[in-house]
Amino acid sequence: MDNFQKMSQRNRTSGMVESSILLAIMMVLIIAGVYLPIIGGFAMLAQPGVLFLIMARQGMRWGVLATVASFMLATILVGPLQALGLFLSSFLPGIIFAWLVYRKYSIAWVMLGSTFAFWLGMVAGVALSVLVMGMDISPETIEAQMNGFIAVNPMYANMPPEQLAQAKALIPLMAQMFLGILGVFLLFISMLMTYLNYWITAYLARRFAQIQLETFPPFYTWTFPKWLGTPFLIVMIAGYYAQFQQLIPPVWMINLGLGICLISGFFMLLQGFAVFRFLFEAYRVPRFIFLILIIATFLLPVISITAIFTGIADLFLDYRKLKKKS
């Protein structure tokens, strides 16, 4: 009995030491995130992975303790208000991400839940900055910044007066549109952060905990629900109808349509490139050609438009016969 008690005590002590080391690593990541803008950004991406290791090794309680300790350290380093912003936009979504992975949810639910958590945290962080810290993101401020950019940019200095007047006339509309799509922009950042967090967490789990997390399926098999492509078609048809009838919709309607097009179009772009990748694999086209195609997408809009409509067509026609295979 004495030997058993000693062994149990030793295991508890070892667990506390291991958790303390992981907690110390968390603190280092927080400090790097505060004082090293570029390197710290990459360090903060590893924070959910370390949280998952703590949970996997010692349980949920230690994960919560690590999050609370991170918030307390951030409060000491940057003050309570900025620490609250970090908690909303990073710490809280991070522990939700780690919990979803820890509870062995499917990779789809981890991506969906974590993206939504990061997005809500970022929106709350922006709201906190505006309401408490006095950050000004009003259309007038954005319009003034755009006018200042035009005044100092050499590209506009050589522009003909008529074109310059047209560009300045669009500034008020662009300022209001920017505020309208800010939430969509934060959503894309949230998706990217969730993907990178999962990739880093999978590496840390495999390297330091001998845990194999679920991997993403091959890209050429990616597909999305049909309802994700339908809004894009509806907005495009409505836009062409408004243009044909020479209608000028209100700004809120333009922002809504633009947001729907960006979100739905992004997923259809992925679907289209998945089809391209499937064809490249079928005909054994070298992979560097596919990389060139992706790079060319940012230079030639016709490629992205083709990929989007290819993705929409694949949703309904199932070029790759994935439904039969499943």
The tens digit of pLDDT for each residue in 114-157 reads 999 999 999 988 888 888 877 777 778 888 888 787 777 777 76
Are 315 and 224 contacting, i.e. CB atoms less than 8 angstroms apart?
Answer: yes
Contacts of 185 by beta carbon, 8 Å cutoff, 6+ apart: none
Q: Tokens 């303790």 — which residue?
A: 65
Instruction: Report how far residue 316's alpha carbon sits from residue 233's, in angstroms, rounded to the nearest whole number.
Output: 13
pLDDT value at residue 14:
55
| DSSP state letters, 166-197 | HHHHTHHHHHHHHHHHHHHHHHHHHHHHHHHH
Domain ranges of the chain: 1-215, 217-320
140 burial type by CB count under 10 A (0-12 exposed, 13-18 middle, 19+ buried): exposed
Q: What is the pLDDT of residue 276?
A: 94
Those residues of the chain that have pLDDT short of 70 are 1-19, 34, 37-38, 40, 157, 323-326
Residue 79, pLDDT score:
85
Q: What is the pLDDT of residue 6?
A: 42
Check residue 321 and give its pLDDT.
Answer: 81
User: For the whole model, what pTM was predicted?
Assistant: 0.82
- Say how far apart CA 162 and CA 302 lie, in whole Å: 29
